[in-house]
Each structure stands twice: as C-alpha cells, then as structure tokens.
A = this chain, B = another copy of it.
Amino acid sequence: MTATGPEFTPRQNEVLASALRLVVEGGEKALTTAAVARAANCSKESLYRWFGDRDGLLAAIVAHQASKVRVPHENDYQLSASAFRERLVTFAEDLLTVLAGDTSLALNRLAIGQASREGSPLGRLLLERGRLRIATRARVLLEAGAAQGHIAAVDATEAYRTLYGLIVRDAHGRWLLGQEPEGTEADFAARANLSVDQFLTLFPPDAQDTGHPAG
C-alpha cells in the first residue's frame, strides 16, 4: 500500500536537498555516499540507516522532489473561452519552465540512466509522481473545457498527449541530451501561445461528436 508517503524528518529532508544539489551539479556520478555525507554534514552510517542503501537514497531523492510537484487545483468550470485559453497557455508555460529546469533535467537524467535495470523503480516513480500528476491536472482542465464547449469533447488523455506534443515537441529530448535550453521566458510564452493556438485548431469547439478531430 505504501500509505501514500511515509515522508521524512526535517533533518532527512535537509540531507535529501543536499544530495539533490549534488545530482543537479554533477549528475549521478557525483552522488557518492561519501560526497552526500560531506555535503550534508551527516555520517554515512546515518545515510544507510535512513535510506537503506544507495538505491534507496536515489529513490528518496526522487520521491522527495516529486512530492513537491504541487498542481494548483483551481476551479476550471464556468470559464469563458478566453479564460479557458488563458489557463491552457499558463499550463504550457509552466510545463516548459519545469521541463527546462535544472532539477527536472537532472532527475530525469538520473531516472533514465537507471531505466535499463529491470523494474526501473526510479522511472516509475518519476512517471507516477511527476508526469502523471501534471497530466491529471491538465486532463481535468481539458474535460472542463470540453464540458463547457470550449473544445471538442474527445478522450481527455488523447487530447492531453496532443497538447503535450505541440508544446514540448522535441525540445525535452534535446535538453536531456545536453543542449542548452536557449529559451528565455519570452520564448516560452510565445511557444505556449502558439501551441495552444494549434491545439485549439485541432480540437475546435464546433465538432458535434466525431471522435477524430482531424479525420
């Protein structure tokens, strides 16, 4: 059951924050138990007592940070078309900002680098506690928009994935591979606006009940 989060003591959170900094700055290679102990002013013995082993520490880092993914739970109903569009644009900007951030990139690289192992628990953690939450938030918004006739009423997951593709395209992949996110905030805003325009073009509100917006 995992009880939705044993969480950690404040001290342990401090240590995890230090460990996260190491990962962000130097990648997985920099995350040795000795380095964490030194950076966090704690003993290796404590690390092992708290997190079991190195893998447990990695998992704790990801879980700790992913738990900070707080999606704003706003009321999406009774939105005008323009307000709905504004919500989508904000979502797009937030998504780009998060994905281009040091922390997100570092944790994704960490989890992806370990994903060859069977089970790939880090990847699952990131998928379930990071991406899934964001996707859920967006789906709620999209379903509300559909209910109010702002967009075509189709499968929210399909619609969300299309929206994601239009917003992110291949940028995340390029960033993960080391290409600098040259995007300024203004660029992100422009990208967000354009992708939402495109999304609304593909899912126009007038479609009566056809499941395929572009068929």
Measured CB to CB, the residues of A under 8 A from B are 26-30, 106, 108-109, 111-117, 119-120, 123-124, 126-127, 131, 161-162, 164-174, 176-179, 194, 197-198, 200-202, 212-215
Q: Name the B residues within 8 Å of A197 (CB-CB).
A: 212, 214-215
A116 vs B24: C-alpha distance when bound (angstroms): 8
* Inter-chain contact A127/B174, CB cutoff 8 Å: yes
A117 vs B117: C-alpha distance when bound (angstroms): 22
A29 vs B55: C-alpha distance when bound (angstroms): 14
Instruction: With A28-B113, A197-B214, A214-B197 as known contacts, state yes or no: A169 contacts B178, CB within 8 Å.
Output: no
- Number of copies of this chain that the complex holds: 2
A108 vs B112: C-alpha distance when bound (angstroms): 9
Which of these, B29, B112, B213, contacts A109 with CB under 8 Å?
B112
* Inter-chain contact B162/A166, CB cutoff 8 Å: yes
What 15 additional pairs, Cβ within 8 angstroms, besides A111-B178, A164-B169?
A27-B114, A27-B116, A28-B116, A106-B116, A109-B112, A112-B112, A112-B177, A127-B174, A131-B173, A165-B168, A165-B169, A165-B170, A194-B215, A200-B214, A201-B214
21 CB < 8 A contacts A-B: A27-B117, A28-B113, A108-B177, A109-B113, A111-B178, A112-B113, A113-B113, A120-B177, A123-B178, A124-B177, A127-B174, A127-B177, A131-B173, A162-B166, A164-B170, A165-B165, A165-B166, A165-B169, A166-B166, A201-B202, A201-B213
